[in-house]
Chain A
Amino acid sequence: MLVFAFALVLFALANVGFTLHGKLPSGAAFYMAIFMAIVILAHLAVRRFAPWADPLLLPLAALLNGLSIVMMFRLSAQVNPATGHPAISASQANLQIAFSAIGIGCFVAVLVLIREPRVLQRYTYTLGAVGILLVALPALLPASISEVYGAKIQIRFGSFTTIQPEEFAKLALAASFAGYLVAKRDVLALAGRRVLGIDLPRARDLGPILLAWAASLLLLIFESDIGTSAVFMGLFVAMLYIATSRTSWLLIGFLMFVGGAFAASKLVPHVHERFDIWLHPFTAANAQGNAYQLVQGLYGMASGGLLGKGLGGGQPYITPLVQSDLVFTAFGEEIGLAGLMAILLIYGLIVQRGLRTAILVKDPFSKLLAGGLSFMLALQVFVIVGGVTRLIPLTGITTPFLSQGGSSLVASWILIALLIRVSDTARRPPPRPIQDEGLTQVVTLK
């Protein structure tokens, strides 16, 4: 499987080189060597520390990471004639390699340090506190070091390096929710009144969901970050549902989020604007103004058509932020519908393997953790891919593994490490009972 992923990435990299320069790119060997080295390292770590883990997860994640490196290399290698410089600098492309290495380093560290998923259950409240702190941090900090494109979601160190703490907060909160719900699920599953065939929960049990809702709305208002807020809310509601099997929670959560988002679209200008450009992107004012990015992304995908322009053959540099939020459209432009469907299927496979793991594993905490993480990944892909393809309003969140950006890449690798850890637990054969040789001796009778 890994060889297959390597071959695809190598081919893609060579493709970029031939299209842009008519020869193999000079940095290709270097890029490829580092990429292969770190992935093989990850593979060895899985073999050593999680031998029973799902064999598909690592190759799939590695393939996505590899494609991201190729795209960053491709974006940095072509100059935008309008601006005279490429969409991202060569050093930013190199940084993507560096973050891939750091991400895989964290991946290995998680496998080494967390031998049993249940260990995390002990830190339920610690992780919860850390998660909330990480989310709240940028909102508390002055805008000068936390604001980016109208949303306050990052912490800037110096002039170059930034961290988006929410990427890590998502993981901490998923683990924390799992621990909390395992402890409280019996109470939360208690039925209250029955309305229209649905058992409503008791009013006093609404506390946690109200809290999560309030937190995600605050996130929306103070950090203007709709995408992450949706992912948080979705994560919590889905995990609540997995824990209690009560459809009512799903309904309540969904209605609360939609209601909150609708109110926010009326009250918060940043959110309102997002809805406006979703509904009317092609009006002259929007197409040249706020919706420029979305519209150019769509134009890029349209120009790609069924098979794409070929890596290096399109003009993704026209689309602003094509390296991060709109990276999916860059793939659409260059590898076409066929390539995008492949990418979506890879995500689908990862999510499916994750959910499969959740179903297999016996321990409820691990079940919730794996289910929550898988669903979160799916939701994140849905929010950003749906956003850039105008299925839902575009909100700036990263595309897992594909986007430029260290925090997202590292967090995605940690997510895969956790899934691999749970799947190792799930698929590990039960220890064989110590056998009393005398009793089970096989006697051959003649």
Chain B
Amino acid sequence: MNRALRRISLAVLVMFVLLLVNVNYLQGFDTASLASKPGNSRAFYAAQNQYQRGSIITSDGKVIAASRLSTGNDSIKYQRYYPSGPEYAPVTGYYTIFGATGVEAAQNSLLSGNDSSLDVRKVIDLVTGKTTKGATVQVTVNSKAQDAAWNALKTLGKPGAVVALNPKTGAILAMASYPSFDPNVLAIHDGAKLNAVDKKLLTDPTQPLLNRALQGTYPPGSTFKIVTSSALLTQSPSTTINTSVDSPTVLTLPQTNNVLHNDQGEVCGDGSGQAPLITAFAQSCDTTFAKIGMQLGANALNQMAEQFGMNDANLTVPMPVAKSSYVIPPSQAETAYSAIGQFDDTVTPLQEAMFAAAVANGGTLMKPDLVQQVTASDLSTVQGMSPSVLSHAISSSVADSMKQMMLAVVQQPEGTAYAFRQDVTGIEIAGKTGTAETGTAGTGQVSPNDAVFTSFAPFANPNISVGVIIQGGGYGAAAAAPIAVQVIKAYQQAVGNQ
């Protein structure tokens, strides 16, 4: 029996050696890989406590998120705070003890000081005895444009969002969403209280946590006629903005009994059934562009929509952006609707700004980006912005035609946004309105239309393009365009154009 017992002892020895080796592997060698696994809140917590988190500032130097020593009696050393909470919430996102969103999440490793690009500086800090801090992230947002966008949305009081881009670089100049939330209420260190606040925000029917600018998708309505017109001008080089196109007052859709009217049943152009393309565009004739859409076909529309950045689920700014979709319709009648921004077309407010930006930048669509520069605590630049081309949406000659047509929307008497032609002194604004029918949202009652507006200015040398979508805002010219005009005006003042 003793021989067997000795063998059992040996087996036990093997078992314990296995355990010891495994524990050594886990805690000695595998720690880094485990720390980087998703859902490791301990690693998140550790990063949060290690260094003072860097600030987030606007391009003109306004601090929109910062960390200061926590005054509370808790184990977390620093308290995050947001000086203009709700206004910049779509940009900064929130930063809680459990997780983060927005720039706080997208640039987390740099802000927290744990990014590998900061390693050398950390060693220097160690030697010189300086306290290591997280890097400062400067976003491209201009505080004046942001103020204008946020104040306009707040005054209107309807759910919606505004995005302004620099068409030449893709820099996001303003990004506001209404209703918003105050990230300060989520920066608290009391987890139980935080959970209660979070639950309240999550169940709020007005969806304050939703960043509509990047994550909300809405029908583009007539602003999609930019895509339809671009497709026409690209496919048929002989067509100019003055070419006469079929513009019936009533259009019967093929294989259906559906009849398409223009808004309020109005006639297009002079009522002859023919109108110059630019007139139909400025007046936003549905029958004209429905017919053009059917002639071009869904595939051509789809291709142009994708060249303008739609159907891209992987766009990041660096936060992820919801996909703006053009769905190829199964029938000609539905293709007609899709050509005027109805059917299943949906876009984000950012996509609206991208429509105008591509046109304004001579047809080249720059990749939208929110991060201008990241500086380490010793003020050296860790990461700068390098504008990149997202796509060559249209040729420069087509872009010139599109610019002319968008200018007509605001500057010609028949244009849908003619009322705003003189709102910004000395600056010519070009744009396109949209009024999207959202149908009967399950209630049997017709819900108010979404107001959409995409624009750029100044016409001669565009430095800003603005996309606005207001849910239930009614006419694009009535609810969305005034907001875009205010943002443009504020930005022109900020850059000294006025």
**B186-245: which have CB < 8 Å to A?**
189-192, 194-195
Q: Chain A 309-327 against B: per-residue CB contact (8 Å), 1 yes, 0 no?
A: 0000011001000000000
B23 touches A375 (CB 8 A): no
Cα(A305)–Cα(B35), bound, Å: 10
* B16 contacts across to A, CB distance below 8 A: 344, 347-348, 351, 378, 381-382
Point out the residue from A299, A344, A371 that lies within 8 Å of B43, measured CB to CB: A299
Point out the residue from A287, A300, A341 that lies within 8 Å of B20, measured CB to CB: A341
Cα(A379)–Cα(B14), bound, Å: 11
B19 touches A242 (CB 8 A): no
A389 touches B22 (CB 8 A): yes
In the complex, which residue of chain A has the Cβ closest to the Cβ of B18? A391
B15 at the interface (CB under 8 A from A): yes
B18 touches A288 (CB 8 A): no
In the complex, which residue of chain B has the Cβ closest to the Cβ of A81? B191
A302 touches B26 (CB 8 A): yes
| Chain B min CB distance to A177 (Å) | 14
Taking A337-B28, A352-B9 as contacts, is the C-beta distance between A315 and B45 under 8 angstroms? yes
A179 at the interface (CB under 8 A from B): no
A238 touches B9 (CB 8 A): no
Point out the residue from B5, B13, B34, B40 that lies within 8 Å of A242, measured CB to CB: B5
Point out the residue from A238, A241, A245, A389 that lies within 8 Å of B19, measured CB to CB: A389
Taking A306-B28, A355-B5 as contacts, is the C-beta distance between A295 and B37 under 8 angstroms? yes
A385 at the interface (CB under 8 A from B): yes
In the complex, which residue of chain A has the Cβ closest to the Cβ of B189? A81
* A101 contacts across to B, CB distance below 8 A: none
A302 touches B38 (CB 8 A): no
A429 at the interface (CB under 8 A from B): no
Taking A300-B42, A344-B16, A378-B16 as contacts, is the C-beta distance between A355 and B8 under 8 angstroms? yes
Q: Chain B 175-194 against A: per-residue CB contact (8 Å), 1 yes, 0 no?
A: 00000000000000111101
B37 touches A84 (CB 8 A): no
A378 touches B12 (CB 8 A): yes
**A321-379: which have CB < 8 Å to B?**
332, 336-337, 340-341, 344, 347-348, 351-352, 355, 358-359, 364, 367-368, 371, 374-375, 378-379
Cα(A294)–Cα(B183), bound, Å: 33
B195 touches A82 (CB 8 A): yes
* B39 contacts across to A, CB distance below 8 A: 287-288, 295, 299
B5 touches A359 (CB 8 A): yes
* B15 contacts across to A, CB distance below 8 A: 378-379, 382
B115 at the interface (CB under 8 A from A): no
B259 at the interface (CB under 8 A from A): no
A242 touches B26 (CB 8 A): no
Cα(A303)–Cα(B26), bound, Å: 10
A400 at the interface (CB under 8 A from B): no
Point out the residue from A82, A332, A379 that lies within 8 Å of B23, measured CB to CB: A332
| Chain A min CB distance to B489 (Å) | 46
B98 touches A303 (CB 8 A): no
Cα(A304)–Cα(B43), bound, Å: 11
* B256 contacts across to A, CB distance below 8 A: none
Taking A82-B191, A84-B191, A284-B38 as contacts, is the C-beta distance between A245 and B8 under 8 angstroms? no
**A280-307: which have CB < 8 Å to B?**
282, 284, 287-288, 295, 298-306
Q: Chain A binding site: helix, strand, loop or mixed by DSSP?
A: helix
Point out the residue from B27, B189, B195 that lies within 8 Å of A305, measured CB to CB: B27
Q: Chain B 31-53 against A: per-residue CB contact (8 Å), 1 yes, 0 no?
A: 10011011111110110000000
Point out the residue from A82, A84, A306, A368 that lies within 8 Å of B27, measured CB to CB: A306
Cα(A82)–Cα(B188), bound, Å: 12
Cα(A359)–Cα(B3), bound, Å: 9
Taking A299-B42, A375-B12 as contacts, is the C-beta distance between A367 and B27 under 8 angstroms? no
| Chain B min CB distance to A48 (Å) | 29
B119 at the interface (CB under 8 A from A): no
Point out the residue from B1, B12, B30, B195 that lies within 8 Å of A302, measured CB to CB: B30
B9 touches A303 (CB 8 A): no
| Chain A min CB distance to B48 (Å) | 12
A162 at the interface (CB under 8 A from B): no
A80 touches B26 (CB 8 A): no
Cα(A347)–Cα(B23), bound, Å: 15
In the complex, which residue of chain B has the Cβ closest to the Cβ of A374? B12
A287 touches B5 (CB 8 A): no
B19 touches A344 (CB 8 A): yes
A303 touches B42 (CB 8 A): yes
Point out the residue from A245, A298, A352 that lies within 8 Å of B26, measured CB to CB: A298
Cα(A62)–Cα(B118), bound, Å: 48
* B478 contacts across to A, CB distance below 8 A: none
A153 at the interface (CB under 8 A from B): no
* B194 contacts across to A, CB distance below 8 A: 81
In the complex, which residue of chain A has the Cβ closest to the Cβ of B23? A340
Taking A378-B12, A378-B16 as contacts, is the C-beta distance between A282 and B23 under 8 angstroms? no
* B26 contacts across to A, CB distance below 8 A: 298, 301-302, 332, 389-390
Taking A298-B34, A299-B37 as contacts, is the C-beta distance between A386 and B19 under 8 angstroms? yes
Q: Chain A 55-84 against B: per-residue CB contact (8 Å), 1 yes, 0 no?
A: 000000000000000000000000011111
B24 at the interface (CB under 8 A from A): yes
Cα(A355)–Cα(B24), bound, Å: 26
In the complex, which residue of chain A has the Cβ closest to the Cβ of B41? A318
Cα(A322)–Cα(B59), bound, Å: 47
* B20 contacts across to A, CB distance below 8 A: 341, 344
B4 at the interface (CB under 8 A from A): yes
Cα(A244)–Cα(B7), bound, Å: 13
A151 at the interface (CB under 8 A from B): no
B419 at the interface (CB under 8 A from A): no
B97 at the interface (CB under 8 A from A): yes
Cα(A82)–Cα(B9), bound, Å: 45
* A381 contacts across to B, CB distance below 8 A: 16, 19
Taking A80-B191, A358-B5 as contacts, is the C-beta distance between A315 and B23 under 8 angstroms? no
Cα(A351)–Cα(B5), bound, Å: 12
A243 at the interface (CB under 8 A from B): yes
* B19 contacts across to A, CB distance below 8 A: 344, 381-382, 385-386, 389, 391
| Chain B min CB distance to A233 (Å) | 15
| Chain A min CB distance to B487 (Å) | 40
B2 at the interface (CB under 8 A from A): yes
A336 touches B27 (CB 8 A): yes
B5 touches A367 (CB 8 A): yes
B18 touches A299 (CB 8 A): no
* A375 contacts across to B, CB distance below 8 A: 8, 12
B191 touches A391 (CB 8 A): no
* A288 contacts across to B, CB distance below 8 A: 39
* A341 contacts across to B, CB distance below 8 A: 20, 23-24
In the complex, which residue of chain B has the Cβ closest to the Cβ of A355? B9
Taking A344-B20, A386-B22 as contacts, is the C-beta distance between A242 and B28 under 8 angstroms? no
Point out the residue from B4, B9, B37 that lies within 8 Å of A245, measured CB to CB: B4
* A83 contacts across to B, CB distance below 8 A: 191-192
Point out the residue from A81, A242, A245, A382 that lies within 8 Å of B190, measured CB to CB: A81
* B28 contacts across to A, CB distance below 8 A: 305-306, 337
Cα(A371)–Cα(B5), bound, Å: 7
Footprint of A on B, CB under 8 Å?
1-9, 12-13, 15-16, 18-20, 22-24, 26-28, 30-31, 34-35, 37-43, 45-46, 97-98, 189-192, 194-195
Given contacts A302-B42, A344-B23, A391-B19, 5 further A-B contacts (CB under 8 A): A282-B38, A305-B28, A359-B5, A371-B8, A389-B19
Footprint of B on A, CB under 8 Å?
80-84, 238, 241-245, 282, 284, 287-288, 295, 298-306, 314-315, 318, 332, 336-337, 340-341, 344, 347-348, 351-352, 355, 358-359, 364, 367-368, 371, 374-375, 378-379, 381-382, 385-386, 389-391
Closest 9 CB pairs of A and B: A81-B191, A84-B192, A302-B34, A337-B27, A302-B31, A303-B42, A378-B12, A245-B4, A382-B15
Residue pairs across A and B with Cβ atoms less than 8 A apart, 18 shown, are A242-B1, A242-B4, A298-B34, A299-B41, A301-B26, A301-B27, A305-B31, A314-B42, A315-B42, A341-B23, A352-B9, A355-B12, A359-B2, A367-B1, A378-B12, A386-B18, A386-B19, A386-B22
